[in-house]
Amino acid sequence: MDAERAHKIGFKGIRLVHSVGAGRLLERFTAPPASLQTAALGLTFPSPFGLAAGFDKEGHGIEALTELGFGHVEVGTITGQAQPGNEKPRLFRLIEDRAVINRMGFNNDGASAVAPRLKAARAALQRRHANVRPVIGVNIGKTKVVELEDAVEDYLISARGLAPAADYLVVNVSSPNTPGLRLLQNVETLRPLLKAVGEEADKSAGRHVPLLVKIAPDLTDEDIDDVARLAMDLGLDGIIATNTTISRDGLDSATEKVEACGAGGLSGAPLKNRSLEVLRRLKSVTQDRLTLISVGGVETGQDVQDRLDAGATLVQGYTAFLYEGPFWAARINKELARNRRKTR
Ligand code: FMN
């Protein structure tokens, strides 16, 4: 089956379980143990492990996904205007590599349509979880038809509309599937963008909304250092590393198969080493001044623990969810809790 169709059906199934009320029963087995509670970004997360952006792009299944054990769900990427994304097919599995290639292109129904969904999900989570509730991150990006020089205003539309419903906000400048987007990672363009988004988010929410920037694994080490210094200079709350890669190095899948996928970002197991490397680099520059969220190639509880040991406060995953199925987050939480008991 086409990978995007399989994703749609799987996600519908997860939402169905929630809508018939079975998610609450499920939670008896999937809820993260209290020992995993993690303080970060001025919030308490039920687990350090969460779902990365791109799975629930439009906030249709936040509650349902948290019932599977994710400590946070990062919704998005959401753009200022609704857009259809790239032509299908645009999502491809590389099973031998436990990887996927995608060129979705930020398909989403735009900030104004997503905002009420986020508000409703936030209120529902607040009602259900008396103390520590799962966290909602909101990841924003640039509308494709908006010129790069008008990017700031486009991000501001999203920040204005979405920050009031966000526990934290992420400026995504690292997807390879919107032409020119990654040029915004350049510090000269990134500085005014992050500054303006941060101010707008706090103003429209009437509180401080933690702000992070999400970076690509394909940046040079010097560029990583520059972004890290900029983030500290601007008083940002954190950095998410990393997005998908445009590299095709080290794959086991047949070259013809990889080439047949065409352009797009590669994610999953082949990203593991580079993602960890970027995390270590960020940690060495930022020390304890920023919250680092590590993402890329995480498959097991041990992978999550490795990221925490290397300086991440939170960890996310996406691609392995497609391979491991709905109980993946619960398994990771169990493994993390078991390791903690052993090392205590
Ligand atoms: N990252 C974003 O910041 N915004 C997106 O809209 C987005 N869409 C994605 C769609 C697909 C199908 C996949 C596989 C990834 C997407 N990502 C997006 C990147 C993930 O959030 C994550 O950074 C990346 O996949 C590496 O993690 P993983 O190896 O655990 O998948």
Query: What's the confidence (pLDDT) of residue 176?
Result: 84
Domain that holds residue 202: 3-343
Ligand 1, residue 317: give the atom nearest the CA.
Answer: 30
CA distance 339 to 23: 27
CA distance 256 to 121: 43
Query: Would the CA dihedral through 87, 8, 317, 207 be positive or negative?
Result: positive
Q: Which of 92-96, 162-166, 184-188, 218-222 has the lowest mean pLDDT?
A: 184-188
Name which residue sits closest to atom 27 of ligand 1, judged by CA: 296
Query: What's the confidence (pLDDT) of residue 321?
Result: 97
CA distance 42 to 21: 31
**Over the stretch 271-319, which tens digit does the pLDDT of each residue have?**
999 999 999 999 999 999 999 999 999 999 999 999 999 999 999 999 9
Q: What is the DSSP string of 195-232?
A: HHHHHHHHHHHTS---EEEEE-TTS-HHHHHHHHHHHH
Q: Which residues are catalytic?
A: 175
**Over the stretch 35-57, which tens digit does the pLDDT of each residue have?**
999 999 999 999 999 999 999 99
Is 214 one of the annotated binding-site residues? Answer: yes
Higher pLDDT, 182 or 65: 65
Q: Three-state DSSP class for 306? A: helix
| 91 Cβ closer than 6 Å to some ligand 1 atom | yes
Query: Among candidates 110, 132, 137, 114, which has minimal Cα distance to 51?
Result: 137
- Alpha carbon 177 to its chain's center: 16
**Residue 219 · residue 199 · CB < 8 Å:** no
Cβ–Cβ contacts within 10 Å for residue 263, how many? 11
Q: Which of 72-81, 181-190, 196-205, 328-337 has the lowest mean pLDDT?
A: 181-190
Query: What is the whole-number distance in angstroms between the Cα of residue 310 and the centre of ligand 1?
Result: 21
Residue 183 has pLDDT above 80, yes or no: no
**Residue 190 · residue 212 · CB < 8 Å:** no
**How many independent structural domains does the chain possess?**
1
CATH code: domain of residue 38: 3.20.20.70
Q: Does the ipTM surpass 0.95?
A: yes
Higher pLDDT, 55 or 180: 55
Residue 158 has pLDDT above 80, yes or no: yes
Q: Three-state DSSP class for 279? A: helix
Q: Are strands 38-40 and 265-268 parallel, antiparallel or unpaired?
A: unpaired
Query: What is the whole-number distance in angstroms between the Cα of residue 153 and the centre of ligand 1?
Result: 24
Backbone dihedral angles phi then psi of residue 43, each to the nearest 5 degrees: -125, 165
| 143 Cβ closer than 6 Å to some ligand 1 atom | no
Residue 90 has pLDDT above 90, yes or no: yes
Cβ–Cβ contacts within 10 Å for residue 87, how many? 8
Q: How far apart are the first and last CA of the chain?
A: 45
- Would you give the DSSP letter of residue 56? S
Query: What's the confidence (pLDDT) of residue 22?
Result: 83
The two structure tokens encoding residue 47: 């687990």
Query: What's the confidence (pLDDT) of residue 184?
Result: 74
Helical segments of the chain, H only = 3-19, 22-30, 62-66, 111-128, 151-162, 187-205, 221-234, 255-261, 272-286, 301-309, 319-324, 328-343
| 105 Cβ closer than 6 Å to some ligand 1 atom | no
Contacts of 188 (CB under 8 A, 6+ apart): none
Bond prior to 30 in cis (omega within 30° of 0): no
CA distance 87 to 82: 15
Query: What is the whole-number distance in angstroms between the Cα of residue 243 and the centre of ligand 1?
Result: 6
